[in-house]
Amino acid sequence: MATIIEPFRIKSVEPLTFTTRQEREQILKDAKNNLFLVRAAHVLIDLLTDSGTSAMSARQWAGMMTGDESYAGSQSFYRFRDVATGITGFKHIIPTHQGRAAEKILFTLLGGPGKSFVSNTFFDTTRGNIEYSGAEAVDLLTEEGKKPQLIADFKGNMDIAALESFIREKGAENIPLCMMTITNNSGGGQPVSLQNMRETAAICRKYGILFFIDACRFAENAWFIKKREKGYENRSVLDISREIFSLADGCTMSAKKDALVNIGGFLALQDDTLAREAKNLLIITEGFPTYGGLAGRDLEAMAQGLEEVLDEEYLRYRIRSIEYMGEKLTAAGVPIILPTGGHAIYIDARAFLPQIPVEEFPGVALANALYLEGGIRGVEIGSLMFGKYDAKGKHVAPPMELVRLAIPRRVYTQSHIDYVCEVIIEVFGKRTQYSGYRISYEAPLLRHFTAELENPGR
């Protein structure tokens, strides 16, 4: 099989900044051993997130110039609305400045104390908006999805039996909405099957519960369906996407993912009454309904990005580039979550650095080693991000200690990815020499963003 190449050539470039190993030692020390506190200019390959980091196309940039900045009824809004409706089929398309703004509006309208919302897995901002309204957010992920080494096609699925028993237990009248996150962020973008979405939608309909899609990575999910689900191999990704949305009553979208833009999002709704209420809230918090917190040029870039993300040559390359990275690492014995998902690689830091106990943050040790050795920035998803203290002040670790390397869309080439793999494999070869960290400062909430750490062993 011929190499699956980047389906674009490069018209505009941005230089990378190189630092020496010695400089990085100092930079990391100045940043208190926390990669969130390192300046982007001091990072060579930045894999902190795939959100808002896409490279836009020449057509998107051209759209930026033709964006209509009229306050009301901008032509760019109608272009964006028509593209979004063409894919989702939803009647009301409400632009927002990013995904969480759409969530805030939706859960302000539907949430409140005593309510429960269910999902295959809620993204953290979605969970935050639900809990902020006073409601509870419950994840009902399929058992397969909880086993990091298990190879399965659709590890992002909803546990259908658990969903139905949860509804019976809580009472359907207390559950306004069920949300399917596609792809499921946990495990680096594990897909959900159409079969699973159909079954979930049927249960929701039976009990009168709204069924919504968190559509951030809908095109990547649709590509997995085309490749893995029986009966879809000859359907277009656009067609599959339309079938997904046809099952739902609405969606929230962060355009910073699969709309290939640096900022933007939307809320899409079928119901007229809900849409009217949402637009009223939008006017208070985001802006008039034909721009919703965005410039006309942003709407133009989103419209174009939504069309480009459905290009199957692009999706083939996108998903292959993650798989390629996973194959190289697996061949070298590096422990990662399998199979690879749509947008990131997760390294199992506990298996990688078994000498470091969880209360000394093996994920931080690994992420910092990748920065020191190769200028690569990933993010720890483990004891620093999700660890808690029990009543006696003892550290309680989350189930896994991971380092996520998220791949920005259309930004890095295969040689960049080869380089990243080489650095990881080099660090793996020297794994016995790394030691743990301890916290010298932590904030009461979301401590990973600002924590200061020490590495006594170095």
Ligand X SMILES: *Cc1c(COP(=O)(O)O)cnc(C)c1O
* Strand-pair category, 388-389 with 395-396: antiparallel
Burial class (CB in 10 A: 0-12, 13-18, 19+), 207: middle
Nearer to ligand X, 181 or 321 (CB): 181
Nearer to ligand X, 261 or 365 (CB): 261
Assess 107 for contact with ligand X (CB under 6 A).
no
Between 49 and 304, CB nearer to ligand X:
49
Contact status: 343 vs ligand X (CB under 6 A): no
Select the span of 122-130, 233-241, 271-279, 380-388 touching ligand X (CB under 6 A).
122-130
Q: How far is the CB of 103 from ligand X (least distance, A)?
A: 7
- Give the contact letters, 399-438, x = binds to ligand X (CB under 6 A), - = no: ----------------------------------------
Contacting range for ligand X; rule: CB under 6 A; set: 29-37, 250-258, 352-360, 411-419: 250-258
Using CA atoms, how far residue 444 sits from 113, 362, 447, 448, in Å, is 24, 21, 6, 10
- Of positions 67, 95, 99, 188, contacts ligand X by CB under 6 A: 99
Return the residue of 108, 125, 262, 414 that touches ligand X, per CB under 6 A. Answer: 125
Is the CB of residue 142 less than 8 Å from the CB of residue 159? yes
By CB under 6 A, residue 380 contacts ligand X: no
In the shown chain, the binding pattern of residues 210 to 239 toward ligand X, with x for contact by CB under 6 A and - for none, equals ----x-x-----------------------
Q: How far apart are the first and last CA of the chain?
A: 46
Tell how strand 177-181 and strand 210-214 pair up. Answer: parallel
- What's the half-sphere exposure (Cβ side, CA atoms, 13 Å) at 318? 32
Q: Which of residues 5-64 bind ligand X (CB under 6 A)?
A: 51
Within 8 A by CB and 6+ apart from 86, the residues are none
* Displacement of CA 402 from its chain's centroid (Å): 15
Angle (deg, nearest 10), helices 237-246 and 75-88: 80
CB-based closest residue to ligand X: 99
Site for ligand X in 164-193 (CB under 6 A): 181, 185
How far is it, in rounded angstroms, from Cα 20 to Cα 57?
32
For ligand X, the binding residues (CB under 6 A) are: 51, 98-100, 123, 125-126, 181, 185, 214, 216, 254, 256-257, 265
